[in-house]
Amino acid sequence: MPQVPHRVAVRTLCGFTARAGDLDLRFTPSPTALQGMEGHAEVASRRGAHYQREISLGALQGGLDVRGRADGYDPQINRLEEIKTHRGDLSRLPENHRALHWAQAKVYAAMMCEKLALPEMQVALVYFDVGRSTETVLCERHSAADLARFFAGLCANYLAWAQQEAQHRSARDAMLAGLRFPHPEFRPGQRRLAESVYKANTSGRCLMLQAPTGIGKTVGTVFASLKAMPGEQIDKLFYLTAKTPGRQLALDAVAQISPRDQTPFLRTIELVARDKACEYPELACHGDSCPLAKGFYDRLPAARQAAAEVADLSKPKLRQLALEHQICPYYLGQEMLRWSDVVVGDYNHYFDSSAMLHGLTQSEVWRVSLLLDEAHNLLDRARLMYTAALSASALFARSKSAPKELRSAFGRVCRQWQSMVNRAPGVPYQTLDTPPDGLLNALQKLCTEIGEFYAATPTHVDSRLQSFYFDALHFLRVNESFGTHSLVDLQEADGGNVTLSIRNVVPGPHLQARWSDAHSATLFSATLTPHSFVSSMLCLPDSTAWVDVESAFSADQLQVSVARQISSRFRDREGSLAAMVDLMAKQYLARSGNYLAFFSSFDYMQMAARAFVQAHPGIPVWQQSRSMSEAEREAFLAKFTPASQGIAFAVLGGAFAEGIDLPGARLIGAFIATLGFAQFNAKNEAIKARVQKHLLATEPEAASNPRLGHHYTYLYPGIQKVTQAAGRVIRTPSDQGCVYLMDDRFARDDVLALLPKWWQVRL
């Protein structure tokens, strides 16, 4: 049976084989996608009616089926053109870019010669400056034989890799088809969890999976997703987390399911932020400054091959491999992302507006399966991704320090800003119908001039100006999609600094393409109730399945009590402190051990801690502090030992309210002095109103519930935080503990209905 050729795009072929020299990431503003398309059209329009555009070409070369579209061909002068748009001084184009561009042009020329049976051809790179509408044409003449040899050389280089990767994929799929669960048996509820994830993958659906803490969600979801990959021809599994500790759990789960020392193996890569992977943060990212950027593309093939031969591409292993080959660890990771089976990263790697994983999924036409850990966090994280802000302090500071070429443009923006503020005097917070047109127009012109300035003076170094430029561009991009899912507001801080924000409140419209471009997505958490709230805010597909896995724990393991004599409402806090302190002390003296006490803010927490220490100085107490470092957080948790005793005071929704594991005697109880509601203020009331308006516009049934905006803004997110915090207490089937809900509102029917079903709440 003849072997099916490996299909590869011209862009991929050349990107893999033709880049050479240094990594060069000196900042130069590049044209937008729209400007690029307009530039291509402008060049073509200058060529005449005979000019051929966007020519589909293909060729079989060895074992490769190479496909692509040439930008243009002029039959009158027999010239194949590869058009590239740019800004500024062309001489500053990195050499590795130019080598890539020549390779693409010569490959298209080789295929065109073969198609038209031509003996030779002119090959041209046409660089079009979008700022000046000028062309620079670099032209070479090549025989068809020379072009064919060049093309064959690239294909031979790539074919060996393609065959290796095909063998890896075949062995990988065979291994996964016979995959066995890594433990002798499933935990209670874990089998149902795994079966639900497997069915979601085999049916190509989204799944909302609510499963209690301690059931083994990470191992269960990863196992089921891997098991489904061969049958569904899934290329990649993306395991995405809200917080860094979740990544290590995923890496450990994959290693447990598919041991790293077995053959065949899964390539599992951990994505980290560039600043956390950089070896020389004080150096600029180009060959003239950083030794790991010097000759990067010359040493990349050997490093790539070495990385392909190991299963573990976590941050430490990538660093080790990269330094052995003297190249940048971060950009080795970016390359190996394309050739890995499992990718572990952050939500923003797939869901952000410029997310790398989503972009590659589209361009490479990957079939991907998503696992979203602690998915109750996605709402707030996605809101931030599609929110933009500009502050007066940053604007006026940059205006004063701007190069003289930009001062006029900055001045126009400052005048528009002042005009906007003058129309809203003395108001700490207010919403606007839309962003002011005058300000937007001035800001757009300023960004254009900053871009042209950097194009003309690429060696200019001003990190604060560059940061402002990126923030302004993001603001303009977010404004382009402004709708009922967002609001515009002005907010004045205590110091008088005014901030203009385009604040996303319903991220779902931005996420719909992300769901549709994934083969399957599983959102799992212990707190996804009510599922209609999560589904609506994230715009999950109508076909999304909902599974609520029963808890492996029994009600007699956890004593849950409502302290109805206590109110944590703002107006009642000082008056209820004595009762709260008395309750906490009584429980501690009745059963000494480690407890966590959660409060709605640092101020409330500190007030309660002072009252407790004054009343009971003999009971050990420690507190969460603002902006704790990783070492400080570890020290805080290290105080919870099987032999220790005391009460730790923390903030609900903070670092110690979810994602920490303190089994057995390390934690035996929790006191929760809040319903977790967002602070009642003008901003949150505006968000509530905008959510209600959006729901009425998109979900007509919302008209029957005028309090839905309140529930979506305050009630549902608040109780999710409470449930997460309470979930720190019972971690294993042998744990015993208690939770005190210290607010009379917990006795309300609408609140009780949102608490875990396995709890037996004592009123």
Is pLDDT above 70 for 3? Answer: no
pLDDT at 375 over 70: yes
The set of long-range contacts for 153-159, using a CB threshold of 8 Å and a minimum separation of 24, is: 154/13, 154/14, 154/17, 154/18, 154/103, 154/107, 155/13, 155/61, 155/62, 155/64, 155/66, 156/62, 157/16, 157/17, 158/8, 158/13, 158/16, 158/17, 158/64, 159/6, 159/62, 159/63, 159/64
Helix 296-308 × helix 144-177 angle, to 10°: 30
Confidence of residue 1 (pLDDT cuts 50, 70, 90): very low
| The CA-based dihedral angle spanning residues 4, 7, 13, 15, taken in that order and rounded to the nearest 10 degrees | -130
Q: So what's the pLDDT on residue 4? A: 66
pLDDT tens sequence across 637-686: 999 999 999 999 999 999 999 888 899 999 999 999 999 999 999 999 99
For the stretch 730-740, pLDDT in tens is 988 899 999 99
H/E stretch holding 72 reads: strand 64-74
Give residue-wise pLDDT tens across range 526-549. 999 999 999 999 999 999 999 999
How many CB atoms neighbour CB 763 within 10 A?
A: 11
Report pLDDT digits (tens) over 33-58.
788 899 999 999 999 899 999 999 99
Q: Would you place residue 717 in the very low, low, confident or very high pLDDT band (cuts 50, 70, 90)?
A: very high
Residues with Cβ within 8 Å of 499's Cβ and at least 6 positions away in sequence, in order, are: 389, 390, 391, 392, 490, 491, 492, 493
Q: Do 675 and 569 meet the contact criterion of CB atoms below 8 Å apart? A: no
Q: So what's the pLDDT on residue 424?
A: 77
Task: Kindly give, in sequence order, each residue whose CB lies less than 8 Å from that of residue 194, ignoring residues fewer than 6 positions away.
Answer: 181, 186, 220, 221, 223, 224
Q: What is the DSSP letter of 296?
A: H
Q: What is the pLDDT of residues 468-487, one digit of tens each?
A: 999 999 999 999 999 999 99
Domains and their CATH numbers in the chain: 6-160 (3.90.320), 178-245+341-386+513-552 (3.40.50.300), 267-339 (no CATH), 390-504 (1.10.275), 555-762 (3.40.50.300)
Q: Contact at 8 Å (CB) between 114 and 59? A: yes
pLDDT of residue 363: 87
User: Is 0.75 surpassed by the pTM of this model?
Assistant: yes
How distant is the alpha carbon of residue 588 from its chain centre? Answer: 42
Query: In the 8-state DSSP scheme, what is residue 712?
Result: I
pLDDT tens track for 503-524: 999 999 999 999 999 999 999 9
Q: Which residues, 6 or more positions from 66, have their beta carbon under 8 angstroms from its beta carbon?
A: 8, 9, 10, 13, 58, 59, 60, 107, 111, 151, 155
**Among 96-110, 184-198, 689-703, where is mean pLDDT lowest?**
689-703
Residue bearing tokens 């107490």: 621
Instruction: Give the DSSP H/E element, type plus range, for residue 444.
Output: helix 437-456
Angle at 405 between CA 401 and CA 410, to 5 degrees: 55
pLDDT of residue 540: 97
Give 91's pLDDT tier (boundaries 50, 70, 90).
confident
Q: Which residues does residue 66 pair with via DSSP β-bridges, in sequence order?
A: 8, 59
Summarised one tens digit per residue, pLDDT across range 568-613 is 999 999 999 999 999 999 999 999 999 999 999 999 999 999 999 9
Token duo for residue 512: 């719909």
Q: In this predicted model, what pLDDT tens digit does every residue of 218-262 receive, in sequence order?
A: 999 999 999 999 999 999 999 999 988 789 999 999 999 988 778
DSSP reduced 3-state for 327: coil
